[in-house]
Chains A and B, each alone.
Chain A
């Protein structure tokens, strides 16, 4: 950067340390809770250091199931979450990169209309129209299927908007040069636009995988069988049981398990994602 002032650096470190602490604290506590037995957690005097019931809690959560009333092992929920999250991410990237390409690089009647038809969906997520969407999915016989979990959630403009914004920043000279070289729309898309879009695609994959993984209301509604349940919807069922005492230590172990895969995606994809966006720095 431009100038270095020691005081400036100290303030920056202080603010960031505070930020990291705020951000990590709830998860740290959840982890601690997942290592103690039920009595220690519920007692209200849980220590801030790990306990000795880690393996027992995670074993019970993954293979036996959390709540006493509906024992659905978390292991199976994890797989459902994986399938629907990957389906949502890939499906959305596919449909939105194509439509953004059409809207930015072609002129045709109803182009603006098509863009607005898609754009409007950005503001009306599935939550607003849950019951009618539920009925459509039921009529299409897609309740308790992965297609039913995936398809309604990719009907949105976030990806299209992101690709559109990115395509707008690509210099026009690239297209001129490609056309002089005789490239048609397919060649230009495949040889020029797609390689340039790798980081945008990676960024969108990260967002959409997590969006899919973290879905709550929709899976809650359309999965009537416990075997199709995702892990995020499973946690609440552990806390609000018909029994008096919720097993917080198992719910917290499940929360940790529910966080791990998407957090791993963010950490793993982060380098690729940031690298593309920082190229101006070099």
Chain B
């Protein structure tokens, strides 16, 4: 949808765009293009010289089983977190949107964890489920369940998913609730007069009207799962045990820093960029057609 009434100034729109474009070019496109350039080069151990090696970095990257493992980990991790946090948040938001007496207090109590840093959220959940001192690890031990996220890869994945979902529910809740509250009550009343029950009203009126919010949240959630969960993973597992929670982003970081393989790390960045740009383009085109503005 486009505005049909606009201003006709020739220079002004460019001036308005200048601050954002400069910052975007210097701190986004310059480094991003550096990553592309670097991915075709190899530096010596001291970083003094570098030579052009073509696709060698990519070839060695796609020869690594660990790389495919990190792709799978990312896929599992992001589907679990996005699906769980969006649906749980929508459930809570629809309940809070009902005209309950204590709805205001509930809202406040649900919203605030939105402000907790992913790294802090990770530390909180690690503390709860820490194999030796965790409060909720104790009942698991009594049940003779050998819970140990520090050694068992699946347990580690469960722990980071829990922390990531916990952290994201309030964010999604906040936006779903705002979206729900902006729906005119008269529309719902009209639906009710026509005999539509709560479920039918939800799927035929509320859910379609909520689609701009859902679209926004979907984009934000995918970004969140791909990137913001870095703090959780680094604080809880450090990508371990044995790479079980090493997502693609975490691998970029670990290979560049700990391994010092800047060329390989840059190649991974480029692959990640291509995946995510493709994902966005498809999603933006596909979702916007269905969105009710």
Q: Does A64 contact B (CB under 8 A)?
A: no
> Which secondary structure dominates chain A's binding surface?
helix
Count A interface residues, CB 8 Å: 109
Contact of A46 among B27, B112, B133, B262 (CB under 8 A): B133
B253 near A114: Cβ-Cβ < 8 Å? no
User: In the complex, which residues of chain B have a beta carbon less than 8 angstroms from the beta carbon of A13?
Assistant: 100, 102
Q: Does A190 contact B (CB under 8 A)?
A: no
Q: Does A243 contact B (CB under 8 A)?
A: no
- Bits for A102-120, please: 1 = Cβ < 8 Å to B, else 0: 1111111001001001111
Q: Does B241 contact A (CB under 8 A)?
A: no
Q: Does B106 contact A (CB under 8 A)?
A: yes
**Of residues 123 to 150 in B, which have CB atoms within 8 Å of A's CB atoms?**
123-128, 132-135, 138
Known: A8-B198, A108-B14, A127-B249. A23 touches B115 (CB 8 A): no
B6 near A106: Cβ-Cβ < 8 Å? yes
B133 near A44: Cβ-Cβ < 8 Å? yes
Q: Does A172 contact B (CB under 8 A)?
A: yes
User: In the complex, which residues of chain A have a beta carbon less than 8 angstroms from the beta carbon of B8?
Assistant: 107
Q: Does B289 contact A (CB under 8 A)?
A: no
Which residue, A43, A101, A127, A161, has most C-beta atoms of chain B within 10 A? A127
B115 near A172: Cβ-Cβ < 8 Å? no
Docked complex Cα distance between A120 and B57 (Å): 25
Q: Does A20 contact B (CB under 8 A)?
A: yes
B21 near A106: Cβ-Cβ < 8 Å? no
A3 near B192: Cβ-Cβ < 8 Å? yes
Known: A106-B6, A160-B20. A26 touches B124 (CB 8 A): yes
Q: Does B219 contact A (CB under 8 A)?
A: yes
Min CB gap B9→A, angstroms:
6
Count B interface residues, CB 8 Å: 106
Contact of A235 among B21, B99, B119 (CB under 8 A): B119
Docked complex Cα distance between A114 and B119 (Å): 34
Q: Does B166 contact A (CB under 8 A)?
A: yes
Min CB gap A184→B, angstroms:
8
B235 near A132: Cβ-Cβ < 8 Å? no
B110 near A102: Cβ-Cβ < 8 Å? no
B116 near A124: Cβ-Cβ < 8 Å? no
Q: Does B60 contact A (CB under 8 A)?
A: no
Chain B residue nearest to A167 (CB atoms) is B3
User: In the complex, which residues of chain B have a beta carbon less than 8 angstroms from the beta carbon of A114?
Assistant: 17, 21
List 12 additional A-B contacts (Cβ < 8 Å) besides A106-B9, A216-B117.
A23-B113, A45-B138, A99-B16, A111-B13, A128-B276, A129-B269, A131-B256, A131-B265, A133-B27, A179-B5, A235-B119, A267-B111
Residues of A within 8 A of B (CB): 1-3, 8-9, 11-13, 15-16, 19-20, 22-27, 29-30, 33, 41-46, 48, 94-96, 98-99, 101-108, 111, 114, 117-125, 127-133, 135-137, 151-152, 154-156, 158, 160-162, 165, 168-169, 172, 175-176, 179, 184-185, 188, 210, 213-214, 216-217, 232-233, 235-236, 239, 248, 251-252, 255, 258-259, 262-263, 265-267, 270, 273-274, 277-278, 280-281
Q: Can you report 17 residue pairs joining A to B where beta carbons are below 8 Å apart? A: A9-B100, A23-B170, A27-B116, A29-B127, A44-B132, A103-B17, A104-B3, A106-B7, A124-B273, A124-B276, A129-B32, A130-B256, A133-B27, A136-B27, A172-B3, A235-B235, A273-B178
